[in-house]
Amino acid sequence: MENKLNEVPHRRYNILTGEWILVSPHRTKRPWQGKTEEKKELKKTTYDPGCYLCPGNERAGGETNPDYSKPFTFVNDFAALLSDTVEISVNEGLLKAESEKGICKVVCFSPDHSLTLPLMEVEDITAVVKTWKKEYAELCEKDFINYVQIFENKGAIMGCSNPHPHGQIWSQSSIPTEILKKSDKFLEYWSKNSRSLLGDYLKQELEAEERILEENEHFVALVPYWAVWPFEAMIIPKRHLQHIGQLSSEEEKAYAEILKKLTIKFDNLFETSFPYSSGVHQAPCDGKDHPEWHFHMSFYPPLLRSASVKKFMVGYEMFAGPQRDITAEQAAKRLNEQSPVHYSKH
């Protein structure tokens, strides 16, 4: 059945959100006449005196970074959420609004300005995972924090204004929309089966072997069946964990290993520093038990045909729903054809 789906327009169901995606594989045969750009070489600068994230430099907000040698975190100088926001509520007929408290932090992955996750050593990525865990635990202890969102925007094409290797952590009082959608689906499945929805899905994917990208003792990286972005990927822990804080030391390292392997495949695909937005989805820390939740990390890369040709979410996607041309199986095949060694080291 999958081979036939690679040839005809069809819809696929996202079990985590309850939404459908339109897949049009026959469109990959059409000629490309859109925007193209020149490929960019990897920068080798390990320290940039003008970078506000490099060790010892002054940040945009006036603070000076310490001379850090491992992952470094700080409260965003221009945060989208503030911890001292006053309570305001508007409920006037059809007009509703409420103030939102939160804390936004920046996580510098490495002091080396030239690195990205695929170029970092496993032990250094493990230090990033440990930092995520530490920040998650500390933020969840705040009585006004009910959700913690860990994410990374990589590349200027994804709105990242600084190439220094870093990510962000936004924590807030309310539970975001995407988390609410997934919470509903996780709970619905758990209530009926007393099993993890994502755990059962992972078992089916491992049996099918069509969309698996990487696997180790504790984690699996795959192209989800319902992927929207051309080379979208997801990392799922084999153990049923509700949040990143439950990772064991062994799992921290395994997580780092699969992060490195997956991002090397991304970079090797078009021999470029592959842009993406990645994020960890996990259970809310609202004081309630969430046995239904199964934490996971998603990667949404925009590149479609080369290092310079990207997919735009326009037209039908904006007004009707998500659509893609290359199927999840075709994307997995392309990624699995890549060398495990980063192209810059060949």
Active-site positions read: 166
3 state SS for the chain: CHHHHCCCCEEEEECCCCEEEEECHHHHHCCCCCCCCCCCCCCCCCCCCCCCCCCCCECCCCCECCCCCCCEEEECCCCCCECCCCCCEEEECCEEEECCEEEEEEEECCCCCCCCHHHCCHHHHHHHHHHHHHHHHHHHCCCCCCEEEEEEEECHHHCCCCCCCEEEEEEECCCCHHHHHHHHHHHHHHHHHCCCHHHHHHHHHHHHCCCEEEECCCEEEECCCCCCCCCCEEEEECCCCCCHHHCCHHHHHHHHHHHHHHHHHHHHHHCCCCCEEEEEECCCCCCCCCCCCCCEEEEECCECCCCCCECCCCCHHHHCCCEECCCHHHHHHHHHCCCCCCHHHC
- Give the residue from 138, 127, 143, 19 showing the smallest Cα distance to 70: 127
Phi, psi of 307 (to 5 degrees): -70, -10
68 exposure class (CB count in 10 Å sphere: 0-12, 13-18, 19+): middle
